[in-house]
Amino acid sequence: MNNKIIIYVATIITIAAVASAAFIYIHYSAQASSVQSNNGSISIVDDEGYVTTLSSVPQRIISLAPSCTQILFAIGDGPKVVGVTTYDNYPYNFTAWAAAGKITIDGGYGTPNMEVIASLHPDLILSDNINDASLPSMRALGYKVIVLNPSSVTGIEQDIMLSGRATGAQTEATAVVANISSVISNIQAKIAAANITTTPTVYYEIWNSPIMSVGAGSWISDAIAKAGGVSIFENVSQAYPTVSSETVVQLDPSVIILPSGSGGMAFYGSVAQVEARPGWNTISAVQNSRIYVVNQDLFAEASPRIGELVQDIADCLYPQLFNSTSSSTS
């Protein structure tokens, strides 16, 4: 009997997974804002409303942002990627790749090298909004540029589907989005099953001089919500507002999340220095040793690793449920 139950449950899960994948494909394809013409070309409407028409499937793709690179490799377009930025470090050591002649560095993050881009003869360029000032000149030169600038977790999933549509990798993109949705659904189901009545309030620090956090319209704020928390600045209209130290104290977050430093150096100094800020000893998160340090790359890049990010946040918010391995002051 037990074996029959196991087989039955496994069958139901499989059916549900297939149905979920089908729904994701239809739902996100519809929202990817693309139109197939009679001559086989495709028009893509990106996150800034710009329409890019592609007459064929791109074979030489340049990425101008780490998040775009991660999407391209996640959906199987890695072999088509001919250029990445100096900031790209996932899913491979691209600095080593460049040294070995396997890929070309096309500039820094926000400082694309136009001469290098020209030498690579791309038929598609993916960027986030950091390069907005350079995009008109790129397009004037005839380059096809698609901008990914999501404001929510759903927006990230839509951008993955959009990228798949633009590059002929729709099936792979659907699988990536299905996995993200599954990870987040499992996290939320576990939190719901625990019947926890208090929602943790969260302060996430983007920068310390001036102090910046996450507000409405930020995919990070939405990721916090997906993980069962709420940003203390969720009602602020700016996605990444400048805030005061005194306001953080007044709003009294129950959890503080800080990004790890690059090369071991964090902009805020150390957790001890954060705790020592004037008045911060009265904050609940400080008093209860609930300051967590997380992987800064996950919080900096709107990428297919969003499921991993939501899991990391949930680890911080509900360590009793997820056996958190995140660093904290405790």
Q: Using CA atoms, how far apart are residues 34 and 166, in angstroms rounded to an integer?
A: 8
Q: Once rounded to an integer, what is the mean pLDDT over residues 37-65?
A: 91
Same fold, 34-152 and 195-328: yes
Strand partners, 63: 126
Q: Which helix (H) or strand (E) holds 127?
A: strand 124-127
- The pLDDT tens digits of the residues spanning 282-328 come to 999 999 999 999 999 999 999 999 999 999 999 999 999 997 555 55
Q: Which helix (H) or strand (E) holds 62?
A: strand 61-63
Residue 211 in tokens: 């102090």
Q: Using CA atoms, how far apart are residues 204 and 211, in angstroms rounded to an integer?
A: 10
Give me the CATH code for the 34-152 domain, please: 3.40.50.1980
Q: Are 59 and 77 in contact (CB under 8 A)?
A: no
Q: How confident is the model at residue 40, as a pLDDT?
A: 75
Burial label, 45 (beta-carbon count in 10 A; 0-12, 13-18, 19+)? middle
Identity of the amino acid at 62: I
Q: Are 69 and 84 in contact (CB under 8 A)?
A: yes
**How many CA atoms are closer than 13 Å to the CA of 188, on its beta-carbon side?**
11
pLDDT at 329 over 90: no
Q: Using CA atoms, how far apart are residues 286 and 291, in angstroms rounded to an integer?
A: 7
Give the start-to-end residue ranges of the domains of the chain. Answer: 34-152, 195-328
Q: How confident is the model at residue 278, as a pLDDT?
A: 97
Question: Cα angle vertex 28, ends 22, 31, to 5°?
Answer: 145
* CATH of the structural domain 195-328, one choice from 3.40.50.1980, 3.40.50.720, 3.40.605.10, 3.40.50.300: 3.40.50.1980
Q: Are 188 and 34 in contact (CB under 8 A)?
A: no
**% of the chain at pLDDT higher than 90:** 83
Q: How confident is the model at residue 14, as a pLDDT?
A: 38
Q: How confident is the model at residue 30, as a pLDDT?
A: 42
Residue 182 in tokens: 């599954």
Q: How confident is the model at residue 37, as a pLDDT?
A: 52
Q: How confident is the model at residue 323, as a pLDDT?
A: 76
Q: Using DSSP, state whether 56 is helix, strand or coil.
A: coil
| Residue written as token pair 């590059």 | 167
To the nearest 10 degrees (0 to 180), the angle between helices 170-193 and 153-167 is 160
| Residue written as token pair 């969260």 | 202
Q: Are 77 and 68 in contact (CB under 8 A)?
A: no
Tell me the Ramachandran region of residue 228: left when phi exceeds 0, alpha when psi lies from -120 to 50, beta otherwise: left
Question: Cα angle vertex 172, ends 169, 175, to 5°?
Answer: 150
Pair type for strands 42-45 and 51-54 = antiparallel
- The pLDDT tens digits of the residues spanning 200-215 come to 999 999 999 999 999 9
